Amino acid sequence: MAYVIAEPCIGTKDSACVKVCPVDCIYEGEDQYYINPDECIDCGACEPECPVSAIFSGDSVPEQWASFAQKNIDFFG
């Protein structure tokens, strides 16, 4: 399952995750970065680079941010 960027990214938008992504699947949106679920190879390189701990494996997104999984999908819809 693809990685998901959740609420802590909003207002921060640090691009450290973008720089380490080997497949360039992280895109900048108006309020946050988004991971394209069709391009993500589930490598996890982005997760430890996020300074605000906003990136989660799709199956481990905290419940309070569960809606961000769909928000990431919809961004590319």
Which tens digit of pLDDT belongs to each residue from 29-58? 999 999 999 999 999 999 999 999 999 999
Is 0.85 topped by the overall pTM?
Answer: yes
Angle at 45 between CA 10 and CA 63, to 5 degrees: 45
Which tens digit of pLDDT belongs to each residue from 4-37? 999 999 989 999 999 999 999 999 999 999 999 9
Burial class of residue 64 in the structure, from the number of CB atoms within 10 Å of its CB (0-12 exposed, 13-18 middle, 19+ buried): exposed
With beta carbons less than 8 A apart as the criterion, state whether 4 and 61 touch: yes
Return the amino acid letter for 38.
Answer: D
With beta carbons less than 8 A apart as the criterion, state whether 59 and 74 touch: no
